[in-house]
Amino acid sequence: MSSKTLFQAIKEDHEEMYLYHDEYKRARQAGDVAAQARWARQLTWEVARHAVGEEIVVYPLMEKHLGEKGKQLADHDREEHQHVKEFLYQLEALKPEDEDYGRTIELVMASLHPHNDDEEIKDLPMLEAVISADASREAAQSFKKTKKLVPTRSHPSAPNQPPFETLVGLLAAPVDKVKDWFASFPTEEEMAGAKAELKHRDHDAAAGRAAATAGH
């Protein structure tokens, strides 16, 4: 199991958002609209996947382990996510070259910064203090799992399509539905077991073909 705590996993994600935002600003300064579009896409999907991951894994843990205070913090966080989502919806209707697009990206980040800081300064330290180190690492794994499975872009023709193909679809999907969808995949432990077996696999295509031919 990875040794990352939930706090570390979340903080790393926050840093990733800031990095993509910086790349976006750099592209904007350079007047490179194509690069702006790419970084904006990377940033907005990262923000969306992060928000969904927290809503599925982190906030329920706060509610479970921090009593009434946890419920309040989680409600407050979800409300702040809602503001960010509304900006993301607006972005979907704009083009990266629009003046409003850049403004909306800045609104997204201006909402996110204090929200992320609160999670790092208040919410997560409070949660980490009342759950075991193992529980924290386990939560970090679940969080990563939810993020890995949320598409980074739409794949209209891919099999096993998630119940959302677009960023708006993902954000608009009820959390319970998204949660059920994640639960329909193997657990981290099951995947780790399968991957351990992979090391011993070496399918010999030529030998298999020869054996099949000899048999006929």
71/58 Cα distance (integer angstroms): 12
Please give the distance of CA 163 from its chain centroid, rounded to a whole number: 15
Cβ(52)–Cβ(93) below 8 Å: no
Q: Which residues of 181-208 are buried (b: 16+ CB within 10 A; e: fewer)?
A: bbeeeeebeeeeeeeeeeeeeeeeeeee
Which of 191, 149, 136, 120 is closest to 49 using CA atoms? 149
Residues 6+ apart with CB under 8 A from 102: 28
Segment interacting with Fe ion (CB under 5 A) among 49-57, 125-133, 144-152, 158-166: 49-57
Segment interacting with Fe ion (CB under 5 A) among 37-45, 48-56, 63-71, 176-184: 48-56
* Nearer of residues 55 and 182 to Fe ion, judged by Cβ: 55
Segment interacting with Fe ion (CB under 5 A) among 54-62, 83-91, 131-139, 141-149: 54-62
151/161 Cα distance (integer angstroms): 9
In whole angstroms, how close is the CB of 60 to Fe ion at the nearest point?
13
* Nearer of residues 39 and 119 to Fe ion, judged by Cβ: 119
Q: Which helix (H) or strand (E) element contains residue 19?
A: helix 6-29
Q: Is 54 an interacting residue with respect to Fe ion (CB under 5 A)?
A: yes
Contact flags string 108-147 toward Fe ion, x per CB under 5 A: -----------x----------------------------
Contacts with Fe ion by CB under 5 A: the residue count is 2
* Nearer of residues 54 and 128 to Fe ion, judged by Cβ: 54
In whole angstroms, how close is the CB of 156 to Fe ion at the nearest point?
29
* Nearer of residues 36 and 54 to Fe ion, judged by Cβ: 54
Task: Using CB under 5 A, list all residues that contact Fe ion.
Answer: 54, 119
